[in-house]
Amino acid sequence: MITYLFYFLSFLAIMFALMVVLSKNPIHSVLYLVLTFFAIAGHYVLLNAQFLAAVHIIVYAGAIMVLFLFVIMLLNLNKETEPHKSIWLKASAAVASGLLLLVLVGSLRNAELITAANPYNPSIGLIENLGQTLFHEFLLPFEVASILLLGAMVGAVMLGKKNIK
Amino acid sequence: MGLTDLLVYKGIMVLAVFAITLLVATYSTYAERKIAAFLQDRIGPDRAGPFGILQPLADAVKMFMKEEMIPSVSNKTLFILGPSVAMLTACLTGVVIPWGSSLWINGTEYPLQITDLNIGILYLFGVISLGVYGIMIGGWSSNNKYSLLGGIRASSQMISYEVAMGLSIIALVMTTGTLSLRDIAAQQYGWHWNVVYQPLGCLIFIICAFAETNRAPFDLPECETELVGGYHTEYSSMKLGFFLFAEYINMFISSAVISTFYFGGYNMPFVGRWVHDPNWLAVLGIVFLFVKISFFIFFFMWVRWTLPRFRYDQLMNLGWKILIPLSIFNIVITGFVMYFTGHLN
Amino acid sequence: MQLTNRSKVVSKKEMTLMERMYLPAIFSGMMITFSHFFRKKPTIKYPEQTRAFSGVYRGQHVLKRDENGAERCTACGLCAVACPAEAITMTAAERQPGEENLYREEKYAAKYEINMLRCIFCGDCEEACPKEAIFLTDRKVDTMYNRGSLNFGKDILVESRENPIDLSKRQTPAVKEFKKDMHFQHNQTHDLNTRTEMKSENPRPVQKKKPGNS
């Protein structure tokens, strides 16, 4: 049952991800990306990580993709404004992405299947356990991440200001 | 509880919640018109049935019978998707709200809630944050300047106020210590309503709820003096009806959420002294919850017909420069109080 | 110049903290709207309730018949001339032998139309009529679905023999008093609802015009 659900969600995720790349209209791409995030959130639920699933939806689908959509709507992208790309650019892009695919396959080929530390604990992904882990084991990385975000925010303000004396 | 029992019980709950949501939203339109009229010394609709009680039906028939127009330059798929998404996300939120305590039938407990997620608040928050897609898609696909501006206003407004709303909820979660709406409702027995412990958070939450539902004084996305009809300028017939209906459903759910979070949910002080049967308590709880919800729906309308609309920069100033600092201050204060009163373990 | 005591001098002073919070102001505003919630509504629910008409209300016209049921109108055209909105048109015809019970005099209006969209209900036609034939009544003009139907012809304007239109509401004693000096004496004997008493009270008064009324 769970396995079928996993395959179904994976199929959805991959299909929507392909649609993101293949659809002509950037708005459609964004909407397919939102659907991809939903499929991934479904995977989180399958892994018993409801908190992560909910936060994933809130942050990615609810906030970040809304901003993407916002920007794309304002940009008024359509076929006429799309810059013409030369054949060399296309070829180099194909080579680069092919190399990336090679690296990914190569690294995944030797990967081992990680077994979860406690796979049958239903509360493993719940917010209490997550909080305990984050604020005990990984306190320093967690706080460093927040400093990273702060730095990004300050940078955005700096870029946003027109002229700083 | 066997599987069949479970399915029947869940099915009944889903149908009941869905039906009640639609019914309340339908009659909210009637209430809105009546309340607007009474606040303005008018009488309001009184032609369809006694006191105009059949007015929503007449409106629905009108909506269905009207000619349906899809602009030829619009993106047809997305044009239809917009109102559908708005309606879908509006209907999804009723799932986690505890409508009452539990009914006991033949020694089995039947909680009056469709499902008790242990991340109930986050689920609610996630679904609310998705609500903006319907408006944005609808506004963009209409291929109309006013619609696009309405959609963009809606998205930026909802994102801005979601932040303050989330921060005010964090303070609430600090005091309650749970993300499950059922636990939050159960904690507020007697006079232990969260509004007593979180007055500032409650105020911020209510203001943000107004902004999230696009209700006046934050109804800039459909501000008719500037944007014709905002994101639903090009919509007609039942698609327009879906957008309007979604707004009323959102208002109903917001009222339910405000009641559950801060005003005791289905609890009412002193009732336990006279009523001891748990089933009767549950039924009374539903009644009390709906009394509170009705009050908040009235409050939504009362505010709408009292306050003028914000200007766009005022809206953003209020959201980013006042509400967010206030809600962070609220979190800090809550933390201090909890530390010094020893509620932190 | 001060017209009322409610005017306020505009001040640009800095708002205090309490004022900048806006909440007290919002609260007081909401109390004001709430007080209106219970106020008595001045609405009149129209088709069921109507406001009292003024005694001299001028509504839809009627073309009266005389006591024998013959039409009084002789298609003289004075009403059409008097009409400031030019709403009245008519076609005259000669009465044929055997039609004496239909038309009172030798000439009658074969067609008589009032365009109710043009009519301003001033009542000049009523005053102009030498035959006491046209009157404005206290009836409201119905609404129609198209403009053509508001061109009222004789079928609507002429009263039926069975239920004559009662003019007593508008033709109050004061109105009659006002009219009696200026109207044409040959009609006096056939006066409407008050034929007999008029005859006895006013034995052919001198025909004179009231000043200020043409």
Domain of C136, CATH number, reads: 3.30.70.3270
Q: Out of B84-88, B116-120, C124-128, which region has the weakest mean confidence (pLDDT)?
A: B116-120
Judged by CB atoms closer than 8 Å, whether chains meet at B41 and C36 is answered as yes
Is residue C214 in a domain?
no
Average pLDDT of chain C?
Answer: 78
Quick check: is A53 in a domain? yes
> How far does the CA of residue B272 sit from the closest CA of chain A (Å)?
33
Q: How far is CA C142 from CA B1, C132, C136, in A?
A: 68, 24, 15
Q: Would you say residue C91 lies in a domain? A: yes
Kindly identify which residue of chain C lies nearest to residue B34, measuring between CA atoms: C37
A21 CA: distance to closest CA in chain B (Å): 18
What number of CA atoms fall less than 13 Å from residue C1's CA on the CB side? 1
Domain-located, residue C11: no
Which 8-state DSSP code applies to residue C133? Answer: -
Tell me the average pLDDT across A40-66: 85
Q: Angle at the Cα of A26 (from B213 to A159), degrees rounded to 5?
A: 75
- pLDDT for res C12: 81
pLDDT at C88: 92
Do chains A and C touch, with touching meaning 3 or more CB–CB pairs less than 8 Å apart? Answer: no
pLDDT in tens, C58-102: 888 999 888 888 888 888 889 999 999 999 999 999 988 888 888
Residue C187's pLDDT is what? 47
Confidence check: pLDDT of A96 > 90: yes
Residues of A in contact with B133 (CB under 8 A): 31, 34, 66, 69
Predicted complex ipTM: 0.79
Q: What angle do CA C34, B40, C19 make, to 5 degrees?
A: 50
Partner-chain contact A69 B155, CB within 8 Å: yes
> Which residues have C-beta within 8 Å of that of residue B259, sequence separation ≥ 6?
B265, B289, B292, B293, B296
Write down the residue that tokens 């127009």 correspond to. B69
Residue of C nearest to B37 (CA): C37
A73 to B148: CB separation less than 8 angstroms, yes or no: yes
CA distance A149 to chain B (A): 16
Among A64-78, B290-304, C29-43, where is mean pLDDT lowest?
Answer: A64-78
Q: Does B137 touch chain A (CB under 8 A)?
A: yes
Chain B CB contacts of A50 under 8 Å are: 117-119
Res B65: pLDDT? 87
Q: Identify the residue among C34, C36, C49 best suited for mutation to test binding to B, counting B beta carbons within 10 A and taking the highest.
A: C36
Closest CB to A57 among B75, B126, B152: B126
- Among B211, B289, B235, CA closest to B20: B289
Express as a percent the part of chain C with pLDDT over 70. Answer: 81
Angstrom CA distances, B21 to B89, B211, B245, B263, B292, stand at: 13, 21, 10, 20, 15
B41·C26 Cβ contact <8 A:
no
Given A48, A79, A110, the domain boundary residue is A79
Q: CB distance C36–B46 less than 8 Å?
A: no
What residues in A contact B137, CB-CB < 8 Å? 31
Residues of C in contact with B44 (CB under 8 A): none
CA distance B40 to chain C (A): 7
CA-CA distance, B170 to B331, in Å (whole number)? 7
- Asked if A34 has any chain B CB less than 8 Å from its own CB, the reply is yes
Is the confidence at residue C117, as pLDDT, over 50? Answer: yes
Helix (H, G, I), strand (E, B) or coil at C90: strand
Supply the mean pLDDT for chain B: 84
Q: Which chains touch A (3 or more CB pairs under 8 A)?
A: B
Taking the C-alpha atoms of residue B91 and residue B248, their distance in angstroms, rounded to an integer, is 11
In angstroms, the separation between the Cα of residue B129 and the nearest Cα of chain A is 5
**Interacting residues of C63 by C-beta distance below 8 A, sequence separation 6+:** C71, C72, C73, C109, C112, C133, C134, C154, C157, C158, C159
For C142-158, b/e burial (b = at least 16 CB within 10 A) is: eeeeeeeebbbebebbb
- Domains of chain A: total: 2
The residue extents of the domains of chain B are: 69-340
Give the one of C33, C42, C43 whose C-beta lies nearest to B306's C-beta: C33
In a domain, C78, yes or no: yes
Contact C29 B306 (CB under 8 A): yes
Residue C93's DSSP bridge partners are C108
Do A73 and A1 share a structural domain? yes
Residue C72 falls inside a structural domain: yes
Is B42 within 8 Å of C41 when comparing Cβ atoms?
A: yes
Neighbouring chains of B at 3+ CB pairs under 8 Å are: A, C
Question: In which band, very low, low, confident or very high, does the pLDDT at C206 lie, cut at 50, 70 and 90?
Answer: very low
- Do A15 and A69 have their domain in common? yes
Q: Do C36 and B43 touch (CB under 8 A)?
A: no
Tokens 């006096």 map to which residue? C188
CB contact under 8 A, B41 and C39: yes
Q: Would you say C133 and C143 are in contact if contact means Cβ atoms under 8 Å apart?
A: no
Between positions 106 and 135 of A, the ones with CB within 8 A of B are: 126-127
Looking at mean pLDDT, say which of B35-44, C157-166, C168-177 comes out highest.
B35-44
Count of the separate structural domains present in chain C: 1
- Identify whether A103 is part of a domain: no
**Is the predicted pLDDT of residue A102 greater than 90, yes or no?**
yes
Please say whether the beta carbons of A82 and A156 come within 8 A: no
- Residue C58 Cα, gap to closest chain B Cα (Å): 29
Segment B51-55 mean pLDDT:
86
Q: Mutate which of B93, B142, B145, B159 to test chain A, going by most A C-beta atoms within 10 A?
A: B159
What is the mean pLDDT of the segment spanning C22-44?
A: 86
Chain C residues within an 8 Å CB radius of B38: 36-37, 41
Mean pLDDT of B224-238: 80
In a domain, A56, yes or no: yes
User: Which residue among A34, A54, A69 places its CB closest to the CB of B123?
Assistant: A54
At residue C210, does pLDDT exceed 70? no
Q: State residue A78's pLDDT score.
A: 61
C112: confidence class by pLDDT, cuts 50, 70, 90: very high
**In this predicted structure, which of A79-83, A127-131, A159-163 has the lowest mean pLDDT?**
A79-83
The shortest C-alpha distance from A85 to chain B (Å) reads 27
C177 or B285: whose pLDDT is higher? B285
Chain B contact set for C34 (CB, 8 A): 39, 302
- Written as one string, the DSSP assignment of C12-76 is -PPPPHHHHH-HHHHHHHHHHHHHHHTSPP----TTTS-PPPPTT---SEEE-B-TTS-B-----
**Same domain, residue pair A73 and A131:** no
pLDDT bin (cut points 50, 70, 90) of residue C128 is: confident
List the domain range (segments joined by +) for residue A131: 122-165
Three-state DSSP string of chain B: CCHHHHHHHHHHHHHHHHHHHHHHHHHHHHHHHHHHHHHCCCCCCCCCCHHHCCHHHHHHHHHHHCCCCCCCCCCHHHHHHHHHHHHHHHHHHHHHCCCCCEEEECCEEEECCCCCCCCHHHHHHHHHHHHHHHHHHHHHHCCCHHHHHHHHHHHHHHHHHHHHHHHHHHHHHHHHCCCCHHHHHHHCCCCCCHHHHCHHHHHHHHHHHHHHCCCCCCCHHHCHHHHCCHHHCCCCHHHHHHHHHHHHHHHHHHHHHHHHHHCCCCCCCCHHHHCCCHHHHHHHHHHHHHHHHHHHHHHHHHHHCCCCCCCHHHHHHHHHHHHHHHHHHHHHHHHHHHHHCCCCC
What is the Cα–Cα distance from A78 to A55, expressed in whole angstroms?
A: 33
* Partner-chain residue, chosen from B35, B46, B307, that has the shortest CB–CB distance to C29: B307
Top-confidence residue, B158 or A81: B158
CB-CB: which of C30, C39, C45 is closest to B302?
C30
Interchain CB distance below 8 Å, B302 and C36: no
Q: Looking at A44, A79, A114, which one is the last position of a domain? A: A79
Identify whether A99 is part of a domain: no
Query: What range defines the domain where residue C116 resides?
Result: 61-162
Two structure tokens written together for C170: 């508008």
